[in-house]
Amino acid sequence: MEKKLKRIGVLTSGGDAPGMNAAVRAVVRTALSHGIECVGIRRGWNGLINGDFGMLGGSDVGHILSRGGTILFTARSEEFLTEEGRKKAVGTCKLLGMDAIVAIGGDGTFRGALELSRLGIPVVGIPATIDNDLGCSNYTIGFDTACNTAIDAIDKLRDTMQSHERCSVVEVMGRNAGFLALYVGIAVGATAVLVPERDYDFERDVVLPLQQARLTGNTHFMVVVAEGAGRAFYIGSQIKDELGVDPRVTVLGHIQRGGSPTARDREMASRMGYTAVTALANGDYNCVVGTRSGGIVTTPIEEALQMKKSLQMDRYAVLEAMQNRILR
């Protein structure tokens, strides 16, 4: 950069994810270590438009490492999608003397950051989404905590399903991506897992696994469904009609977004927040921080938004091997 950074802003946007607070803490404390002031922008891009902010010091982010959600709140902004709204956001940056913005969130957050960068405001993005579906990073903040939350809930459900010899159909988040469902499905020993990346055949992907599980002596069954693969209640009714089994359907919903972040999410968020500010201080801006090949890297934001991440379908082989099934 042509001039030394004096003040930066930090915001969280889009869906909240456990570990966002750890990232905010890392951004603030790393900035202070570089002699840079930090402004906390509340309610995402909407807050940047409306001047909803507050100065953040080291003590302001104390004791937030273990908290879920985000102390800066989050919101989606229709106004920021307009040219007029983005110009207002730029005006806020100039009025507050902010030299750059660190934006914590997912794909939509980064698209907003890209538009802001095109208007002359340097930005760095930090990936935080429980879906773990951003191509620019092998891992996104919040995924591990969401997985553990779902696993804990399903383990508890299994206890009662086993006692009553029932089938449980559990819907987890994942409108467009099945990373959470497949990871959790393997971890809990699910009888079947449905993800949006693979068009499911009810006979092949549900009926056959349940029949084979029953033939091997199982009296209770666990079906994990990503919300984008199909509605759990409909799949439950199909199971009842086809197999005569009376399933119990559970939609975990937003419980997966909450809770104290795991060690992995706290540590990863801290490293990413540190890297984001260090990159800005070194003149590496208009990029997204991410993990690749075991390290923390930065990727130009336009390139990052074009990158895609494919679900590792070979994990189905692992799932089916654990069920003593022939891969079909």
Q: Residue for token digits 């696993």?
A: 151
107, 131, 205, 265: which is the annotated catalytic residue?
Answer: 131
What would the DSSP string read from start to end of 209-241? HHHHHHHTT---EEEEEETTT--HHHHHHHHHH
Q: Which residue has 């393997």 as its token pair? A: 186
Q: Which residue has the tokens 């099934």?
A: 325
Sign of the torsion formed by the C-alpha atoms of 208, 214, 218 and 222: positive
Task: Please state, in angstroms and rounded to a whole number, the distance separating the CA atoms of residues 84 and 89.
Answer: 9
**52 catalytic, yes or no?**
no
CB-based burial label for 145 (10 Å; 0-12, 13-18, 19+)? buried
Residues 6+ apart with CB under 8 A from 274: 26, 30
What residues contact 25, with CB distance under 8 A and at least 6 apart? 61, 64, 65, 270, 273
Q: Which residues pair with 225 in a beta bridge?
A: 171, 194
SS3 248: strand
User: Which residues have C-beta within 8 Å of that of residue 24, sequence separation ≥ 6?
Assistant: 10, 12, 40, 56, 61, 64, 70, 71, 72, 104, 273
- Sheet holding 287-292: strands in order across? 53-56, 37-41, 7-12, 100-105, 123-127, 287-292, 295-300
Q: Which residues are catalytic?
A: 131
